[in-house]
């Protein structure tokens, strides 16, 4: 699984490093699948941490980078 965070505030934005790591076991997602809406399911699933190896496969950037 690859995870990257995006964000913005005012006219600035940032993008974190793209991290590669193992997904949790499938049974970990059962609580997310039981959520009442697609938005709640997605929000639940994106909170799981990456397992090893957690390696940056693409560097992040921001609007303030030169």
Helix, strand, or coil (residue 64)? coil
What backbone phi and psi angles, to 5 degrees, belong to 37?
A: -135, 160
Cis peptide, bond prior to residue 53, ω within 30 of zero = yes
Kindly tell me if the per-residue pLDDT of 5 is higher than 90. no
pLDDT tens per residue, range 17-65: 999 988 888 888 898 999 999 999 989 988 888 888 788 889 998 987 6
pTM equals: 0.64
């Amino acid at each position: 699984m690859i995870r990257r965070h995006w964000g913005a505030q005012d006219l600035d934005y940032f993008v974190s490093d793209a991290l590669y790591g193992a997904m949790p076991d499938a049974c970990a997602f059962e609580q997310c699948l039981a959520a009442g809406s697609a938005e709640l399911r997605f929000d639940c699933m994106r909170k799981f941490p990456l397992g090893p190896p957690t390696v940056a496969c693409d560097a992040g950037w921001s609007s303030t980078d030169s």
